[in-house]
């Protein structure tokens, strides 16, 4: 009964919401999204740009709250009232929709050739044969640093691990700044900004990630334990009471100028630009020796797919091809610094910090977070366990080896590669 009521309500809102906008001959496309923050960008920049080029197609961006998105979308799809275009979460959530037949196969969509296989991996079947969402944006991991602090202490931007730790030692010895702004209270900082940030340099990005999925490598192998060993070494450089420091605490510590280096994701750029009163720079995770190939986590985060039940599939495909074009990428990446286009065509961006981040794509190899594809489907959940164990390693609760062993044991209990 409640489902029916909910469905009726959702149906009601979607009809009422669009009723006033439909014109006689125009096709109206509705976009489902959780990115309410981007409403202004879609309304003022992206949609006008598309409509100017494609008369006769109207586009409406209709976001819902991030926490409700998946449930609301599921209900709308079941009731047949979902929008024509669906913003895709990466990996399993979208894959499930595709398997249920809610998302159309877009492998042959013009414009898909603009994306690299890594970019498409988040919205493909496990065998990589069908793609069902156009990749829109990714976030890149690295370190953002306080340029003023570096100048004052006469520090060079570190490129190798030894230089990195030498710089941390110097900042610590000086005492003005907290060397690293990171806490372990919220757990995911340690995993996402720590382990997944520095890890790809050890496990060689895609090579290691693919081997892990195939079962050729284990989390207890040297390349996967080594990032934990480095994380354990971060402990003395974190602020006092980092065990109870939350993610917003870390952000504030850095933007208030009290910390020198912030292990970051590029999504911070927008916020940091408005809050920090000092100059900022960024550097990729340091490599072992100068000249080594560097690997960065260039994590696919958001894509767009076609509702298989859409009545305007033709117009929707035109729109998706446009989303796959460099035009869209330029507007989107500039409006949202830190969310980088996945398009193979380089995008010109005005923001210097965003430029710095994206420049790493040329010299480093991109990969995505190791736990996201396939490996987090079972119980215990590898991603969640990685959060807990990364924090444990930094807190000193677990040794790197013990943490890796726990993760591998958990994974082994349900994941049998090669089947």
379 lines the binding site for other proteins (CB under 8 A): yes
Quick one: 161 or 299, whose CB is closer to other proteins?
299
> How far apart are CB 316 and other proteins at their closest, in Å?
27
The residues, ordered by sequence, that sit 6+ positions from 220 with a Cβ below 8 Å of its Cβ are: 401, 404, 405, 408
Asked whether position 159 contacts other proteins by CB under 8 A, the answer is: no
* Distance between CA atoms of residues 242 and 143, nearest Å: 18
Question: Which two structure tokens, joined as six digits, stand for 362?
Answer: 């040329």
Stretch that binds other proteins, among 140-148, 277-285, 313-321, 376-384 (CB under 8 A): 376-384
Nearer to other proteins, 225 or 375 (CB): 375
Positions in 92-121 near other proteins (CB under 8 A): 92
Q: Is 9 in the site for other proteins (CB under 8 A)?
A: no
User: CB within 8 A of 235, min separation 6: which ones?
Assistant: 242, 394, 395, 396
Can you tell me which of 158, 183, 285, 303 binds other proteins, judged by CB under 8 A?
183
| Residue with smaller CB distance to other proteins, 269 or 388 | 388
- Yes or no: say if 142 and 357 are a contact pair by the CB < 8 Å rule: yes
The DSSP code sequence of 35-103 is -GGGHHHIIIIIHHHHHHHSTTEEEEEEE--HHHHHHHHHHHHHHT---SEEEEPSTHHHHHHHHTT-B
Q: How far is the CB of 405 from other proteins (least distance, A)?
A: 14
Q: How far apart are CA 355 and CA 275, in angstroms?
A: 19
Tokens of 127: 């065998």
Q: How far apart are CA 20 and CA 82, in angstroms?
A: 17
At a CB cut-off of 8 Å and minimum separation 6, what does 312 contact?
27, 28, 29, 84
**Site stretch for other proteins (CB under 8 A), options 107-115, 166-174, 179-187, 224-232:** 179-187
Window contacting other proteins (CB under 8 A); options: 105-113, 226-234, 276-284, 378-386? 378-386
Q: Is residue 314 packed enough to be buried (19+ CB in 10 Å), middle (13-18) or exposed (0-12)?
A: exposed
Answer yes or no whether residue 372 interacts with other proteins by CB under 8 A: yes
Residue 374 touches other proteins, criterion: CB under 8 A: no
In the complex with other proteins, the residue whose CB is nearer, 254 or 319, is 254
Q: Does the protein bind other proteins through residue 235 (CB under 8 A)? A: no
> Quick one: tokens of 119?
């970019």
Q: Does 377 engage in binding with other proteins (CB under 8 A)?
A: yes
Residues 72-91 binding other proteins (CB under 8 A) are 91
Nearer to other proteins, 242 or 322 (CB): 242
Maximal CA-CA distance, the chain = 71
63, 74, 380, 417: residue in contact with other proteins (rule CB under 8 A): 380
Residues 6+ apart with CB under 8 A from 375: 212, 213, 382, 383, 411, 415
- Give the one residue of 10, 137, 187, 296 binding other proteins; rule: CB under 8 A: 187
The Cα 418–Cα 244 span in angstroms is 41
**245 contributes a contact to other proteins by CB under 8 A:** yes
Using CB under 8 A, list all residues that contact other proteins: 91-92, 183-188, 239-246, 249, 252-253, 371-372, 376-377, 379-384, 387-388, 391-392, 395, 397-398, 410, 413-414
């Amino acid at each position: 009964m409640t489902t029916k009521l909910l469905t009726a309500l959702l149906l009601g809102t979607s009809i009422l919401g669009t009723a006033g906008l439909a014109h006689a001959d125009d096709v109206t496309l509705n976009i489902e999204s959780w990115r309410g923050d981007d409403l202004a960008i879609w309304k003022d920049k992206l949609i006008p740009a598309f409509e100017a080029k494609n008369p006769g197609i109207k586009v409406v961006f209709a976001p819902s709250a991030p926490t409700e998105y998946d449930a609301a979308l599921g209900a709308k799809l079941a009731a047949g009232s979902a929008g024509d275009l669906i913003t895709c979460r990466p990996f399993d959530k979208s894959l499930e929709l595709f398997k249920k037949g809610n998302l159309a196969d877009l492998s042959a969509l013009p414009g898909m050739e603009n994306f690299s296989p890594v970019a498409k991996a988040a919205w493909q079947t496990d065998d990589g044969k069908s793609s069902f969402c156009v990749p829109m944006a990714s976030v890149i991991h690295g370190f953002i640093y306080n340029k003023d602090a570096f100048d004052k202490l006469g520090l060079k931007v570190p490129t190798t691990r030894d230089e990195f730790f030498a710089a941390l030692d110097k900042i610590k010895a000086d005492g003005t700044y907290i060397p690293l702004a990171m806490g372990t209270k919220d757990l995911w900082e340690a995993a996402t900004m720590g382990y997944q940030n520095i890890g790809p340099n050890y496990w060689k990005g895609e090579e290691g990630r693919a081997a892990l999925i195939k079962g050729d490598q284990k989390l207890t192998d040297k390349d996967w334990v080594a990032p934990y060993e480095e994380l354990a070494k971060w402990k003395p450089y974190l602020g006092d009471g980092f065990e109870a420091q939350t993610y917003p605490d870390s952000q504030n510590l850095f933007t208030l100028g009290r910390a020198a280096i912030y292990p970051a994701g590029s999504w911070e750029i927008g916020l940091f630009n408005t809050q920090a009163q000092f100059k900022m720079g960024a550097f990729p995770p340091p490599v072992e020796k100068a000249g080594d190939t560097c690997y960065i986590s260039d994590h696919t985060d958001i894509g767009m797919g076609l509702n298989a039940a859409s009545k305007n599939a033709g117009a929707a495909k035109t729109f998706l091809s446009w989303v796959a074009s460099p035009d869209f990428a330029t507007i989107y990446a500039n409006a949202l610094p830190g969310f980088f286009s996945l398009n193979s065509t380089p995008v010109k961006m005005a923001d210097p910090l965003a430029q710095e981040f994206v420049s790493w794509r040329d010299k480093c190899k991109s990969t995505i977070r190791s736990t996201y594809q396939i490996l987090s489907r079972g119980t215990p959940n590898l991603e969640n366990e990685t959060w807990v164990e990364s924090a444990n390693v930094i807190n000193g609760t677990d040794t790197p080896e013990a943490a890796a062993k726990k993760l591998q044991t958990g994974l082994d209990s349900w994941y049998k590669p090669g089947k």
